[in-house]
């Protein structure tokens, strides 16, 4: 790769005022670079840093919650309202300000343009506002916990608890926070769809597009379909609270269940919005470290589409106890079952990708394998809670808490960690410490399973979720203590990765453009890539353009025996 950042820096102008500057040593000021950025990589970095900070805050909430639950009495919290504020803040922060910004805003921004050979996102300024809407949203949410009694509604904000049950400004602030975060997501998804559909490298048909880009494309459509529904629902809640409307008030002819339908029409696709980009990362990491092409590329891409479609049709399985007419329950039970099939196909395809490969035990692969084992458990307990009669026993117990943490923490967050270890060299130009990474994984894996496996048992034993005191009967105390100990081991594991990041940013060994011998185009550029990403883009002939290039080089230098399928053509970028 002959091109470097110096040669490329000039391609992106920063306004006419800078036009006269020397291109190769042009550097925007700190303020312009980070606050008025239009570069997808800088914005991606902002998203990633933001989600790490939000994650530490959200994690702190969960540590306090686990401390409170290690004994049956009240130890650390003032009262139940404070507990409810904590569970609400923890849920909303983790969903809207950690997992989504990390996977979509962070990795999506950084790597979708690079992977498809584009110089930037389609709408760079809109990209910037997408991020900067998220910051005040987070500020509003955190402030809502500090104002008055706080918003103690749970992340689902069900009225009437969220209307007549919570007077004071906190819930309104939470609603505005979600409005801003929702606007940010909608703008972001428009950007992704436009970028992916219009800006792919020459030769990169949709069927040669990296699976991570596929995942982001599907996620963006899901966001576009579901987030406006949430916006509508919480707007109605806002007017119910403040302007005397009665959408959800039975005494004015409204219905609280309307909110639940609207919320879960958003809320269930949201689950897939959080996990699909994670699936994408796993589908990128496995073939690289197994040194073998992905098994069933089309099946994986298609199963994402099927999951997204079915994900829009299952929302009422969150409402099995409300209850609904039996035929409705039958429909939602069936549609929920069906999601198991494309999800199973993905898992089998991943295992088959590893089958007869040459597996290198680098940290990204280990996190990906941890993801598969944990997500399998989270997915399959999903079948259990999808079955209406059994869900009657398990709904709103700790079993459900265990189930969705297996998908979102054991799944999505482990995928984020796989992504961090995989792409850190590209983002910073430096390698992370492998030993620290493996220790971090070991602690996280043990800690995670210690925390959440036992919660299935706590739920079967009948302990409801969202309680801060529980009866001192049976072994509930013991089980809860095991869970709390696990949470600390898990937290320690996460901190090791944070330390690893901080150490490696300055002191890690220099990575070079393609340290993993990976398959996709982001590794064709330098690490970190120049402002415009690529001076030249290779014509894409397969799902693995970088492998084609390596083969070509080996062939032309006489070190490889295999002839490439066709002559290499370089296209001016």
Partner 1 sequence: MLKRIAAAAPAVLVTAAVAAAQAVVALPAAAQPQDWRIGFQEPATESARAIQDFHDLLFVIIVGITVLVAGLLAYVIFRYRASRNPVPRDFTHNTLIEVLWTIVPVIILVIIAIPSFNLLYFLDRTQNPELTIEVTGQQFSWVYTYPDSGITLYSNMKQQDQLEEGEPYLLAVDEPMVVPIDTNVQLLVTASDVIHSFGVPSFGLKTDAVPGRTNETWFRADRTGTFYGQCSELCGANHAFMPIEIRVVEKDEFEQWVASRQTAAAASAPAMVAAAD
**In whole angstroms, what is the distance from residue 264 CA to residue 229 CA?**
9
Residues 330-389 that bind partner 1 (CB under 8 A): 330, 333-334, 337-338, 340-341, 344-345, 347-348, 351-352, 354-361, 366, 369-370, 372-373, 376-377, 380-381, 383-384, 387-389
Cβ nearer to partner 1, comparing 281 with 458: 458
Q: Is 544 a catalytic residue?
A: no
Q: What is the 3-state secondary structure (H, E, C) of 83-145?
A: HHHHHHHHHHHHHHHHHHHHHHHHHHHHHHHHHCCCCCCCCHHHHHHHHHHHHHHHHHHHHHH
Q: In degrees, to the nearest 5, what angle opens at C-alpha 267 toward C-alphas 265 and 269?
A: 75
- To the query of whether residue 155 is one of the catalytic residues in this protein, the response is yes
428 classed as catalytic: no
Give the tokens for residue 238.
């806002």
Please give the size of the binding site for partner 1, defined by CB under 8 A. Answer: 97
- State how far the Cα of 485 lies from the Cα of 93, in Å rounded to an integer: 23
Among positions 424-443, residues that touch partner 1 (CB under 8 A) are 438, 442
Binding-residue pattern over the window 278 to 307 for partner 1, x denoting contact by CB under 8 A: ------------xxxxxxxx-x--------
Active site residue 397: no
| 205 contacts partner 1 (rule: CB under 8 A) | no
The answer to whether the peptide bond before residue 160 is cis (omega within 30 degrees of 0) is yes
Catalytic residue list contains 497: no
Q: Does the annotation count 395 as an active-site position?
A: no
Taking CB under 8 A as the criterion, which residues in 101-160 touch partner 1? Answer: 152-154, 158, 160
Task: Indicate if 343 belongs to the active site.
Answer: yes
- H-helix or E-strand containing 377? helix 363-386
Q: Which of 144, 219, 343, 353 is catalytic?
A: 343
Which CB, 353 or 428, lies closer to partner 1? 353
Active site residue 23: no
360 CB contacts (<8 Å, ≥6 apart)? Answer: 289, 290, 291
Q: Which of 45, 185, 195, 226 is catalytic?
A: 185
Query: Is 465 tagged catalytic?
Result: yes
Is residue 557 annotated as a catalytic residue, yes or no?
A: no
CA distance 19 to 493: 48
Question: What residues from 391 to 420 belong to the interface with partner 1 (CB under 8 A)?
Answer: 392-393, 395-397
Catalytic site includes residue 270: yes
| Torsional class of 283: left (φ above 0), alpha (ψ -120 to 50), beta (otherwise) | alpha
Per CB under 8 A, contacts with partner 1 among 249-268 are 250-251, 254-257
Which residue number, 133 or 300, has a Cβ lying nearer to partner 1? 300
Binding mask 322-341 for partner 1 (x = CB under 8 A): xx--x--xx--xx--xx-xx
Dihedral sign for Cα atoms in the order 200, 202, 207, 208: negative
C-beta of residue 138 within 8 angstroms of C-beta of residue 52: no
Q: Using alpha carbons only, give the angle 65, 420, 498 rounded to the nearest 5 degrees.
A: 50
Scan for tokens 């590794």, then name that residue: 523
Place of tokens 């999601």: 339
The pairing of beta strand 570-572 with beta strand 536-538: antiparallel
Which of 179, 200, 241, 268 is an active site residue?
Answer: 268
Q: Catalytic pick from 38, 189, 226, 283?
A: 283
Q: Judged by CB under 8 A, does residue 550 bind partner 1?
A: no
Taking CB under 8 A as the binding criterion, the range among 10-18, 192-200, 473-481, 501-509 that sits at the site for partner 1 is 473-481
Q: Active-site residues: which are they?
A: 90, 120, 155, 184-185, 268, 270, 272, 283, 317-318, 343, 346, 465
């Amino acid at each position: 790769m002959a091109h470097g950042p110096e040669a490329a820096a000039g391609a992106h102008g920063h306004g006419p005022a800078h036009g006269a500057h020397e291109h190769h040593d042009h550097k925007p000021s700190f303020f312009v670079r980070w606050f008025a950025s239009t570069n997808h990589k800088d914005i991606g970095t902002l998203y990633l840093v933001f989600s790490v900070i939000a994650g530490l805050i959200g994690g702190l909430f969960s540590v306090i919650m686990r401390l409170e639950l290690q004994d049956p009495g009240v130890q650390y919290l003032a009262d139940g309202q404070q507990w409810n504020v904590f569970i609400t803040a923890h849920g909303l922060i983790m969903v809207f300000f950690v997992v989504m910004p990390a996977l979509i805003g962070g990795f999506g921004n950084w790597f979708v343009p690079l992977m498809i050979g584009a110089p930037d996102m389609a709408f760079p300024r809109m990209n910037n506002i997408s991020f900067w809407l998220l910051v005040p949203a987070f500020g509003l949410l955190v402030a809502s916990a500090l104002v008055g009694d706080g918003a103690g509604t749970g992340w689902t904000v069900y009225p009437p608890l969220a209307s007549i049950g919570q007077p004071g400004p906190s819930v309104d602030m939470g609603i505005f926070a979600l409005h801003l975060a929702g606007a940010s997501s909608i703008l972001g998804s428009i950007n992704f769809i436009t970028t992916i559909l219009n800006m792919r490298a020459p030769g990169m048909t949709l069927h040669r597009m990296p699976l991570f880009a596929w995942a982001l494309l599907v996620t963006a459509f899901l966001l576009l379909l579901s987030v406006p529904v949430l916006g509508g629902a919480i707007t109605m809640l806002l007017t119910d609270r403040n302007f005397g409307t009665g959408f959800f008030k039975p005494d004015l002819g409204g219905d609280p269940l309307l909110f639940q339908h609207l919320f879960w029409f958003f809320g269930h696709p949201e689950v897939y919005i959080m996990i699909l980009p994670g699936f994408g990362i796993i589908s990128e990491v496995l073939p690289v470290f197994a040194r073998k092409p992905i098994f069933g590329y089309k099946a994986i891409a298609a199963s994402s589409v099927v999951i997204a479609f079915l994900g829009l049709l299952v929302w009422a399985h969150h409402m099995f106890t409300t209850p609904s007419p039996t035929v409705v329950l039958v429909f939602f039970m069936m549609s929920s079952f069906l999601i198991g099939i494309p999800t199973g196909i993905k898992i089998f395809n991943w295992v088959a990708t590893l089958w007869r490969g040459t597996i290198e035990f680098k940290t990204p692969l280990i996190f990906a394998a941890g993801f598969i084992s944990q997500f399998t458990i989270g997915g399959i307990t999903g079948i259990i809670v999808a079955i209406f009669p059994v869900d009657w026993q398990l709904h709103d117990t700790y079993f459900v808490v265990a189930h969705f943490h297996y998908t979102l923490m054991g799944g999505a967050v482990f995928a984020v960690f796989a992504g961090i270890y995989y792409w850190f060299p590209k983002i910073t130009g430096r390698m992370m410490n492998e030993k620290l990474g493996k220790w971090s994984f070991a602690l996280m894996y043990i800690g995670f399973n210690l925390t959440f496996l036992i919660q299935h048992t706590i739920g079967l034993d009948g302990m409801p979720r969202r309680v801060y005191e529980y009866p001192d009967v049976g072994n509930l105390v013991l089980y809860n203590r095991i869970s709390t100990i696990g949470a600390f081991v898990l937290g320690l594991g996460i901190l090791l990765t944070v330390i690893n990041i901080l150490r490696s940013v300055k002191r890690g060994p220099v990575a070079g453009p393609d340290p993993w011998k990976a398959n996709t185009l982001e590794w064709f550029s330098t690490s970190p890539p120049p402002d415009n990403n690529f001076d030249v883009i290779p014509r894409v002939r397969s799902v693995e353009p970088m492998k084609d290039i390596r083969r070509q080089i080996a062939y032309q230098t006489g070190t490889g025996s295999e002839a490439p399928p066709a002559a290499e053509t370089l296209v001016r970028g």
